Amino acid sequence: MISKSALEQLKKMYPIGARVVLVKMNDPYSKLKSGDLGTVACIDDIGTIFVNWDTGSGLGIVFGEDSCKLL
């Protein structure tokens, strides 16, 4: 779980429309790889950062499992 304050900070750090680069995804079935680029679409109430990846994927970055960084 993510605290309310941590969620607010995450939303400020990754606003809708921000460009990100994937650092790590802990999903053996995903075709995304480190270095893939995308645009933040939204962040849900549990801290998942949904990204429209340039590869066409819409897979989210799971809080505490995966990581990305701002460009």
Global pTM value:
0.93
The domain that holds 23 is classified in CATH as 2.30.30.40
Domains contained in the chain, number: 1
Structural domain of 21: 4-70
CB-based burial, 23-56: b 16+ in 10 Å, e otherwise: eebeeeeeebeeebebebeebeeebbbebebeee
Alpha helices in 1-71 (DSSP H): 4-13
Structure confidence by residue, pLDDT tens digits, 1-10 = 899 999 999 9
- For residue 8, what pLDDT is reported? 97
In this structure, the strands spanning 67-70 and 60-61 are unpaired
Convert the pLDDT of each residue in 19-62 to its tens digit.
Answer: 999 999 999 999 999 999 999 999 999 999 999 999 999 999 99
What is the per-residue pLDDT for 1? 83
